[in-house]
Amino acid sequence: MAWSIADVARMSGVTSRTLRHYDEIGLLPPAWIGSNGHRHYEEADLLRLQQILLMRELGLGLREIQAVLDSQVDQVAVLREHHRRLLMERDRLETLARTVGRTIAELEEEKDDDSMTRINRPENLFEGFEAPADEPEVRERWPEAWAESRPAVEGMTEEDQERWQREVTAQMIRFAEFMVAGTPVDDPAVQAEVDEHYRGVCRYWTPNAEAYKGLGRTYVDDPRFRANYDKIADGLALYQRDAMVAYADARLS
């Protein structure tokens, strides 16, 4: 069975002009050309076109695609690799969608002026989060930081605590967006966000370079902290730790 170039264009969404170009460069020649000059494609050609489109989705150029298709590589193995990369991209986009959804919820929360809604809804932002280390443990592990933070913490009202929680969550989401976009941790935009994080920490205690790096390690090493970060995006705790290390080396050392 064969299909005309118009049929293939309709089924695949690839224009007839593009299909003719693929023929001209030897990437996808038709099975045969009729006496009227019309191109016709068979099943093997449709399968080849599918692979071309898959590799285009993955960012390969036409020359690279032709080299792969013209080699003696097992086509099933190639398709398996395409499938694996597509699944990875799907997971990345799902993570990004969750992050953007959380950002939308955070922005809507900030715009909501209804006092009852503001009081009753903040906990929804943290549903399912693990509780961080409790006060006695914090006091034992970081006694100087605990002592320095006491005046600021004890002066916080319930509304202050809710606002702080919203700020922390929103910042975690912004870090996740950088991570999912593949932004390097030393990128100026990421480091500006880390600077904001450091200034937030300094509202309670002022860490030097090593202490700030240690705080970043805590986000990764303490299962409760790490769980909170990774519920927003897998790998977020590691990403923020590395960003904090870069900041400490550049700004605090």
Q: Is residue 16 part of a domain?
A: yes
Tell me if 82 is assigned to some domain: no
Instruction: Let me know if residue 83 belongs to a domain.
Output: no
Instruction: Judge if 60 and 94 occupy the same domain.
Output: no
Residues 109 and 184 in one domain: yes
Predicted local distance difference test score (pLDDT) of residue 126:
40
Instruction: Determine contact, residues 209/252, Cβ cutoff 8 Å.
Output: yes
136 lies in which domain range?
89-252
Distance CA 18, CA 61 (A): 14
Residue 106 shares a structural domain with residue 197: yes
10-residue stretch averages of pLDDT, the chain, 253 residues long: 92 92 93 92 91 78 81 68 73 70 67 44 39 45 58 64 75 87 92 92 83 88 81 86 95 88
Query: What CA–CA distance (Å, rounded) separates 229 from 170?
Result: 12
For 31, residues 6+ apart whose C-beta sits below 8 A from its C-beta are 2, 40, 41, 42, 44, 45
- Residue 81 counted as domain residue: no
pLDDT at position 8: 93
**Structural domain ending residue among the three candidates 43, 72, 101:** 72
Q: What is the CA radius of gyration of the chain?
A: 27
Query: Residues 67, 16: one domain?
Result: yes
18, 47, 72 — which closes off a domain? 72
77 domain residue, yes or no = no
Which of 27, 47, 72 is the last residue in one of the domains? Answer: 72
Question: What's residue 184's pLDDT?
Answer: 94
Q: pLDDT value at position 147?
A: 61
Q: Are residues 148 and 241 in the same domain?
A: yes
Are residues 133 and 61 part of one domain? no
Per-position DSSP letters for 72-91, written without gaps between them: ---HHHHHHHHHHHHHHHHH
pLDDT score for 118: 38
CATH number at residue 114: 1.10.490.50
Do the Cβ atoms of 173 and 162 come closer than 8 Å? Answer: no
In the prediction, which pLDDT does 120 show? 36
Same domain for 68 and 106? no
- Judge residue 183's burial from the number of C-beta atoms within 10 Å of its C-beta, 0-12 exposed, 13-18 middle, 19 or more buried: middle
Query: Are residues 163 and 59 both part of a single domain?
Result: no
**Looking at the domain assignment, is residue 233 inside a domain?**
yes
163 inside domain: yes
The pair of three-digit structure tokens given for residue 104, joined into one six-digit string: 């939308």
- Structural domain includes residue 84: no
Q: What is the pLDDT of residue 253?
A: 79
Q: Name the burial class of residue 136, with classes exposed (0-12), middle (13-18) and buried (19+) by CB atoms within 10 angstroms of its CB.
A: exposed
Q: Quick one: 149 and 28 in the same domain?
A: no
Beta bridge partners of 40: 4, 32
Q: Using one digit for the tens of pLDDT, what is the confidence trace for 129-169? A: 444 444 444 455 556 655 655 565 566 676 766 677 778 88
